[in-house]
Structure formats: structure tokens, C-alpha cells
Amino acid sequence: MNPKPGHKHPLTQIMAEVNSIFAELGFVFVEGPELEEIAYNFDLLNVPKDHPSRDMQDTFYIEDKPDNVLRTHTSPVQVRHMKDHQPPIRIIVPGKVFRNEATDATHEAQFYQLEGLMVDKDVSLGHLKGTLEFFFSRFFGGKTEVRLRPSFFPFVEPGVEVDMRLTGDDAPLKLRGRWIEIMGAGMVHPNVLRNAGIDPTVYQGFAFGMGMDRLAMMKYGVDDVRLFYTGDLRVVNQF
């Protein structure tokens, strides 16, 4: 007799779904190290040497490895990938990241981020908006609107904050019709392109980064991010 099947972790399910949606647009799933070099995590991403996010309270440093950190975002993979590939580039980077901050229902010291990067000759903020509307519509089901607000991240210029709103009839009731702040994004800073060996006078592109745990929490109605990492089947076996 075959045993009753087990269950796939919700975050893996999200990862697989995200990958299959972006694959339709030709975005390649790439990865990078979790124990990252400071150069990739900060310097090459145009984060100034004295930037507050490098402080001890935000970043995990490693004893006897002064050049390493636990990556604080998946953005270092942008540079790693661009160093080896010339445009056109379309990638997504789902991966674990680490932040040295107190944990609560919405913050974990480790969580999953989804990075996106598209670089070519004429990529614009319009493509960012279009790509995200495509993704959210597929992911949450039904029609999705995306709006951009000015913001700042050292590795993009212009930088934007992205809000989304689900308007379709089949969108989860709790989310429907409401603007939700979902991620940071922008046009890749020319310094980042240059650092990665891509000529910013010829190429330009967008990048975005969002929390996959957050996507999962919204989609499944999970109210505490820590539940994903407890190894508790009372959680996992619901999926």
C-alpha cells in the first residue's frame, strides 16, 4: 500500500509557482551564495562604505572572515550574474537572506527574498510595471494594478516603492481592492552596471526585490512569518 503523501513546504510551493510564472517571460532562475563577500553584498551594489545598513545591528558578520557577511539581500546575485553574462538579461533570484534584527510576527532574522532583474537596450520603468502586473495577476489570480512611488535604494536610480492592488473577483477577499505596499524596485544604478562590466551608456534595466515569505503569508493567510521555520507539521501539513 502506498503511504499517504507528505506535504511540500509552502515556501517551496511559492518558489515553484514564481519560477513558472517568470519562466513564461523568459526569466531564468539563478542562485548565489548565502555566505557572501562584502564586495558583492555592498560595495559593487553602490552602497557607500559608511552606509548605516552595514552597521552591526543589521548585518551578520562572520568571525575570522572579515570579508564575508550573511547576505542581507539577493541583489548581490545581480552583479554575479551580470559579470558573466552580457544583455539581454532576464533573471529571478529566489533565495534565503539574513538580517540581524529582533524577530516578531512580521520579522525573521532569516527569510526568503525574490530578486528580479531585466537589462537590455530599452528597458524602462514601464517594463517594470508591466512585468509586475503580469506576475501578480498570475500569482494572485485575476486583475492586478501596480503603482509606483518615489523611493531610494543605493543600487537603483530612480528608485521606487511598489504598491499593488488586486481587483479581480477571484482575488482573496482580505486583499481585494486595497493598495498594498509590496516591494522596492527601480532602474539599476549605472554604477552597478559598470561594476558588473556592463556599459551603462548602452544598456539599462530594472531590478526589484520582495519578500517571498510575505507573498506566502498574503496568499495563504499566514499571520506569523516565524511559522515557516519551526519545522512544525501542524503548519506544513495544511499545504
* Nearest approach, Cβ of residue 173 and other proteins (Å): 10
Site string for other proteins, 123-142 (x = CB under 8 A): xxxxx-xxx-xx--------
Using the rule CB under 8 A, give the single segment among 37-45, 72-80, 116-124 that binds other proteins.
116-124
With respect to other proteins, which residue has the nearer C-beta, 17 or 43? 17
Residue 181 cell numbers, joined: 505596499
Considering only residues 62 to 91 of the shown chain, the ones binding other proteins according to CB under 8 A are 62-65, 70, 88, 90
Whole-angstrom distance, CA of residue 88 vs CA of residue 237: 41
Stretch in the footprint of other proteins (CB under 8 A) among 37-45, 49-57, 72-80: 49-57
**Minimum gap (Å) between residue 204 Cβ and other proteins:** 6
Choices 37-45, 72-80, 117-125 (CB under 8 A): range interacting with other proteins: 117-125
CB of 197 to other proteins, least distance (A): 19
Please give the grid coordinates belonging to residue 43: 560595495
Q: Among the candidate windows 37-45, 72-80, 156-164, which touches other proteins by CB under 8 A?
A: 156-164
CA–CA distance, 43 with 176 (Å, rounded to integer): 40
Cell numbers standing for residue 31: 542562485
The set of cell numbers assigned to 131 is: 512585468
Q: Which of 83, 86, 158, 180 binds other proteins (CB under 8 A)?
A: 158
Q: For the chain, report the end-to-end CA distance as a whole number of angstroms.
A: 23
Question: Contact between 44 and other proteins (CB under 8 A)?
Answer: no
Give min distance, CB of 1 to other proteins, in A: 11
Cell numbers representing residue 174 in the block: 482580505
CB of 85 to other proteins, least distance (A): 10
Q: SS3 for 158-220, per residue?
A: EEEEEEEEECCCCCCCCCECCCEEEEEEEEECHHHHHHCCCCCCCCEEEEEEEEHHHHHHHHH
Span interacting with other proteins, options 37-45, 72-80, 146-154, rule CB under 8 A: 146-154
Segment 181-220, which members bind other proteins (CB under 8 A)? 187, 189-190, 204, 220
Name which position in 39, 43, 100, 176 contacts other proteins (CB under 8 A): 100
The single residue among 109, 142, 176, 194 that binds other proteins, judged by CB under 8 A, is: 109
Beta carbons within 10 angstroms of residue 81's beta carbon: 20
Contact in structure between 12 and 215 (CB atoms under 8 Å): no
Return the exposure string of 16-43: e unless at least 16 CB atoms fall within 10 Å of the residue's CB, then b: eebeebbeeeebebbebeeebbbebbbe
